Amino acid sequence: MIKKGFDPRKWARLSGGLILSMFFMPESLFAGGAALILSGDLSSYREAAQGFKSGFDRPFKEYILPGTEDEKVLLMGSVRAQSPDIIIAVGSKAAAEALEHCPQTPLVYCMVINPESQGLVANRNAYGISFTVQESVLFSKYKAALPNLRRLGLIVERGKNEDWLEKAADAAKKEGIAIVAEKVGSNSDIPGVMRSLSGRIDAFWMTTNPILTNKFAFSTILDFCLNSKISLLVPVDSLVGAGGLMAVNSSAESMGAESAALSKLILDGRPPECHLAQPSKVEIVINMDTARKLGIGIPGSALRSAKLYPLGTSP
């Protein structure tokens, strides 16, 4: 029975306003906690976010960077208004925005390909999960999948990474692999350098060096490897799907979960001494179509523990 004086239309307007206020509360009501910022709405970033959410049991607010600069400024203004105790950045763009707009807030990042070039590794307020796998682990996995691997080609920038190259060569030598390195000054040098490697290598190791992380470099190297029947070892899953033979990396979800664990340590006042941690869980990703094109037989022991492309392929 409706009481006298009750106005359904007035109640609807009032309740609607209450519901809307739940979704459009002032940012100040979300103060503190954590801010999870994704560099975009990519499936890999979503997977990392899911991994983070599965391991983070504290208040947080999620943001996705928009496409335009004006929209990014507005979004980062919302992040600042939240006054988060910590920011978790997924991808390079999110990390860059966090450094620019919230430089005093502790930052945890993952899925950043070259954190050194962004100043993240040198920043004492930033902590990350490495996108790349430690060389000793990498070469061990390569050898398990390619037992006959002896000579591994590599391109580095001229005048850079000399210390890293020496350490990588030492790690490879322990697995019975010799690094055959060629130096380039620009992208235009890559075709000629790849031709010079013909007959000298069993596989080519494509790193995350900025001179190689572009479409021209990848397509040039991929064409050479396929035509020369040489295994192309790439740094990420997407390049395996594009034709590379194999990648050894950590899944996006695993990196997100490790970011959650790292964030809780920092919030609890127990930050680690190392500012860039190696992923604790790695997986092998193999393109079986590419293996067949190259005539390569991969041991069953390696296949059974690998993620295979095309998806759904059985060993």
What's the confidence (pLDDT) of residue 137? 94
Given a cut of 60, is residue 260 above it in pLDDT?
yes
* CATH code, 135-249+282-309: 3.40.50.2300
Backbone angles phi, psi at 303, to 5 degrees: -65, -40
Given a cut of 70, is residue 293 above it in pLDDT?
yes
Query: Is it true that 28-132+250-281 and 135-249+282-309 share their CATH fold?
Result: yes
Task: Kindly indicate the confidence band of residue 13, based on its pLDDT and cuts at 50, 70 and 90.
Answer: very low
Query: Percentage of the chain with pLDDT > 90?
Result: 78
In Å, how far are 57, 99, 104, 178 from 260, measured between CA atoms? 9, 19, 20, 38
Nearest to 155 by CA among 199, 112, 114, 196: 196
Domain boundaries, the chain: 28-132+250-281, 135-249+282-309
Q: What is the mean pLDDT of residues 149-175?
A: 94
What's the confidence (pLDDT) of residue 305? 87
C-beta separation of 56 from 263 below 8 A: yes
What's the confidence (pLDDT) of residue 30? 52
> pLDDT, tens digit, for every residue of 132-157?
899 999 999 999 999 999 999 999 99
Given a cut of 70, is residue 312 above it in pLDDT?
no
Task: Kindly indicate the confidence band of residue 27, based on its pLDDT and cuts at 50, 70 and 90.
Answer: very low
What's the confidence (pLDDT) of residue 128? 97
* DSSP-based helix, strand, coil % in the chain, nearest 5: 45, 20, 40
E runs forming strands in the chain: 34-38, 60-64, 86-90, 107-110, 126-129, 151-157, 178-184, 203-205, 231-234, 246-249, 276-277, 283-287, 306-309
What's the confidence (pLDDT) of residue 8? 46
> pLDDT, tens digit, for every residue of 75-116?
999 999 999 999 999 999 999 999 999 999 999 999 998 898
- Contact residues for 62 (Cβ-Cβ < 8 A; gap 6+): 36, 37, 38, 49
Amino acid 228 reads S
Given a cut of 80, is residue 47 above it in pLDDT?
yes
What's the confidence (pLDDT) of residue 159? 86
Structural fold of domain 28-132+250-281:
Rossmann fold (3.40.50)
pTM beyond 0.85: no
User: Per-residue b/e over 110-131, b at no fewer than 16 CB within 10 Å?
Assistant: bbbbebeebebeebeebbbbbb
Given a cut of 50, is residue 184 above it in pLDDT?
yes
> pLDDT, tens digit, for every residue of 193-224?
999 999 999 999 999 988 998 999 999 999 99
Query: Percentage of the chain with pLDDT > 70?
Result: 89
What's the confidence (pLDDT) of residue 19? 36
